[in-house]
Structure 1
Amino acid sequence: MPETVRHICGISGGKDSSALAVYMRDRVPDMEYFFCDTGAELPETYEYLDRLEVALGKPIARLNAKKGFDHWFEVFRGALPSPQMRWCTKKMKIEPLEDWIGDSKAVSYVAIRADEASRKGYVSTKPNIQTVMPFVEDGVDHAGVLKILEEAGIGLPKYYEWRTRSGCYFCFYQRKAEWVGLAERHPDLFDRAVAIESKVRQDAGADGDASFGEYAMKGRQYTWSGGESLPDLHARREEIIERHNAAMEQASKRKANKTVWEVLGDALDDDDDSAQCSVCAL
Structure 2
Amino acid sequence: MNHMRTRHILNLSGGKDSTALAVFMRDKVPEMEYVFCDTQKELPETYEYLERVEAYLGKPIVRLNAERGFDHWLQIYGGLLPSSQARWCTRKLKLEPFEEYVGSDPVYSYVAIRADENRSGYISTKPNITAIFPFKEAGITKSDVFRILDESGLYLPQYYEWRTRSGCYFCFFQRQSEWVGLKERHPDLFELAKAYEKINSETGERFTWRHGESLAELERPERMEEIRANRETLDKEASVPKLVTLTSLINADDEEDLGCVMCHL
TM more than 0.5: yes
Quote how far apart the aligned CAs of 1:257 are: 9.5
Which residue does 2:87 correspond to in 1? 86
Distance in 1 (CA, whole Å) between partners of 2:261 and 2:59 is 26
Quote how far apart the aligned CAs of 1:227 are: 1.6
Q: Say whether residues 1:277 and 2:260 are aligned partners.
A: yes
Q: 1:262 to 1:226 in 2, by over 3 A?
A: farther
User: Does the aligned pair in 2 maintain the 1:244–1:267 contact within 8 Å?
Assistant: no
Distance in 1 (CA, whole Å) between partners of 2:76 and 2:243 is 48
Distance in 1 (CA, whole Å) between partners of 2:169 and 2:100 is 25
Which residue does 1:195 correspond to in 2? 195
Give the AA of the match of 1:265.
N
Quote how far apart the aligned CAs of 1:119 are: 1.0
Distance in 1 (CA, whole Å) between partners of 2:157 and 2:76 is 33
Quote how far apart the aligned CAs of 1:2 are: 2.9
Summarize the alignment of residues 1-282 of structure 1 with structure 2, pairs less than 5 Å apart. Answer: 1-116=2-117, 118-197=118-197, 200-202=198-200, 207-208=204-205, 222-235=207-220, 236-251=223-238, 253=239, 262-266=248-252, 275-282=258-265
Distance in 1 (CA, whole Å) between partners of 2:21 and 2:231 is 31
User: Does the aligned pair in 2 maintain the 1:248–1:263 contact within 8 Å?
Assistant: no
Which residue does 1:214 correspond to in 2? none
Distance in 2 (CA, whole Å) between partners of 1:86 and 1:64 is 18
User: Does the aligned pair in 1 maintain the 2:12–2:18 contact within 8 Å?
Assistant: yes
Quote how far apart the aligned CAs of 1:261 are: 6.7
Quote how far apart the aligned CAs of 1:181 are: 0.4
How large is the Cα RMSD of the aligned pairs?
Answer: 2.2
Distance in 2 (CA, whole Å) between partners of 1:139 and 1:18 is 17
Give the AA of the match of 1:201.
I
Quote how far apart the aligned CAs of 1:109 are: 0.1
Quote how far apart the aligned CAs of 1:267 are: 6.5
Q: 1:165 to 1:121 in 2, by over 3 A?
A: same
Q: 1:54 to 1:95 in 2, by over 3 A?
A: same
Question: Any idea what SS the aligned residue of 1:277 has?
Answer: coil
Distance in 2 (CA, whole Å) between partners of 1:187 and 1:90 is 28
Quote how far apart the aligned CAs of 1:92 are: 0.4
Give the AA of the match of 1:231.
A
**Aligned pairs, number:** 262
Q: 1:45 to 1:94 in 2, by over 3 A?
A: same
Distance in 1 (CA, whole Å) between partners of 2:24 and 2:143 is 14
Give the AA of the match of 1:9.
L
Distance in 2 (CA, whole Å) between partners of 1:233 and 1:255 is 26
Q: 1:81 to 1:261 in 2, by over 3 A?
A: farther
Distance in 1 (CA, whole Å) between partners of 2:60 and 2:256 is 34
| Unmatched 5+ stretches in structure 2 | none
| Unmatched 5+ stretches in structure 1 | 209-220
Question: Any idea what SS the aligned residue of 1:114 has?
Answer: coil
Q: 1:104 to 1:148 in 2, by over 3 A?
A: same
Q: 1:256 to 1:48 in 2, by over 3 A?
A: closer
Quote how far apart the aligned CAs of 1:228 are: 0.3
Quote how far apart the aligned CAs of 1:234 are: 1.1
Give the AA of the match of 1:96.
P
User: Does the aligned pair in 1 maintain the 2:49–2:157 contact within 8 Å?
Assistant: yes
